[in-house]
Amino acid sequence: MSEKPQKLKDLINAPEILITPGVYDGFSARIVEKMGFKTATISGAGISETRLGLPDRGIVGLADNVNTCSNLADCTHLLLQADADTGYGNEVNTYYTVRAFEKAGAAALMIEDQVFPKRCGHMAGKEVIAAEDMVKKVRAAVAARKNPDFVIKARTDAAGPLGLEEAIRRLNMYAEAGADCLFADALSSERDIERVARNVPKPLSVNMGLGIRSRSTTPLISPKQLQDLGVAQVSYPRLLSAASIRGMLNAMTVFKEDLLEKGLVVDRPDLLVSFEDICDLFGLDEVDRLEKSFQ
């Protein structure tokens, strides 16, 4: 039985806040691991945008999501926290969804109480299902896991459409149903974050919207401040995807202007990592050693 869920649970329950960058592919996962982080959140938005070229509106299916999780688990040692949106159906669907992600190598799985098809937590027009229906999903998720330490994270999006008190009420219901970690999305102030953290019985996780300033309903707050407010974990789901788009736009702009319009062939190490850096990041030396061992 994998030790990853227990390691993640220990980090979530530690006194220090746990910082989890968002990952969605081999590039982002390898970089996060190289920078010394122990855990990462698999971004559902990142998968939708990079694999399908479509927005985070519940379009990614279970197979694409699980396959991405499996690939990332195979190429890094990160403690991966997967995002299963609404559980892909009712409580029975949620049960088998948990089984699939646990088998794929995740250490945790998040499900949320939005109406399907869900949408990014910082998009307008969110709706939530009845709290009692989400409780059934949480109970199913808890029952499905084979490793009792596999972390079930229950998310509510009720703060926006129904108010903060309803979000707190729901999180307490989800905790009672067996969730190990709670997630309140799109909280609108430091005061609201602290109020939620102080009124729920399980560790609270929040998102910080670096890269979505114009859309984010939650103010940007430092990890130390969040820890002081009572938050156990903070994720940055769009940091790397937004940075990668900016980097590609910058590189393509120079490519178009210099090479195609001016006819100049100019290498730009300020815009591009070297071939050697790429080989090092993805472990070419290890593959070379493996090849030589069979000769």
- What is the pTM assigned to this prediction? 0.93
In a 10 Å sphere around its CB, with 0-12 CB exposed, 13-18 middle and 19+ buried, how is residue 170 labelled?
Answer: buried
Phi-psi category of 189—alpha, beta or left, where left has phi over 0 and alpha has psi -120 to 50?
A: beta
HSE of 208, CA atoms in CB hemisphere, 13 A: 19
Q: Is the pLDDT of residue 31 over 80?
A: yes
Lowest mean pLDDT among 41-45, 48-52, 123-127, 244-248: 123-127
**pLDDT tens-digit profile of 126-178?**
899 999 999 999 999 999 999 999 999 999 999 999 999 999 999 999 999 99
Q: For the chain, which residues make up each domain, given as ranges?
A: 4-237, 245-293
DSSP code for 17: P
Regarding the domain delimited by 4-237, which CATH topology (the fold level of the hierarchy) does it fall under? TIM Barrel (3.20.20)
**Mean of pLDDT over the chain:** 93
**pLDDT tens-digit profile of 48-79?**
999 999 988 888 999 999 999 999 999 999 99
User: Does the bond joining 117 to the residue before it have cis omega, within 30 degrees of 0?
Assistant: yes
SS (H, E, C) 38-105: CEEEECHHHHHHHHHCCCCCCCCCHHHHHHHHHHHHHHCCCEEEEECCCCCCCHHHHHHHHHHHHHHC
| Residue 43 contacts residue 29 (beta carbons within 8 Å) | no
Residue 183, SS3 per DSSP: strand
Confidence (pLDDT) at 64: 94
pLDDT over 90 percentage in the chain: 83
Q: Is the pLDDT of residue 227 over 80?
A: yes
Query: Strand locations in the chain, DSSP E?
Result: 18-23, 39-42, 79-83, 108-112, 151-156, 181-184, 204-207, 233-236
- Best CA proximity match to 43, nearest among 207, 171, 184: 207
Distance CA 242, CA 169 (A): 34
Distance CA 158, CA 37 (A): 30
Calculate the alpha carbon distances from 23 to 12, 27, 53, 199, 255 in Å.
18, 8, 16, 30, 27
Confidence (pLDDT) at 99: 98
Confidence (pLDDT) at 212: 59
Distance CA 48, CA 60 (A): 6
Residue 24 in tokens: 């969605």
Q: If pLDDT is split at 50, 70 and 90, which confidence band does 266 have?
A: confident
Average pLDDT over residues 231-240: 96
Confidence (pLDDT) at 229: 97
Q: Is the pLDDT of residue 108 over 60?
A: yes
| Residue 108 contacts residue 152 (beta carbons within 8 Å) | yes
Confidence (pLDDT) at 261: 80
Q: If pLDDT is split at 50, 70 and 90, which confidence band does 263 have?
A: confident
The Cα angle at residue 19 between residues 63 and 21, in degrees rounded to 5 = 40
- Strand-strand pairing, 79-83 and 204-207: unpaired
Confidence (pLDDT) at 274: 94
Average pLDDT over residues 219-226: 94
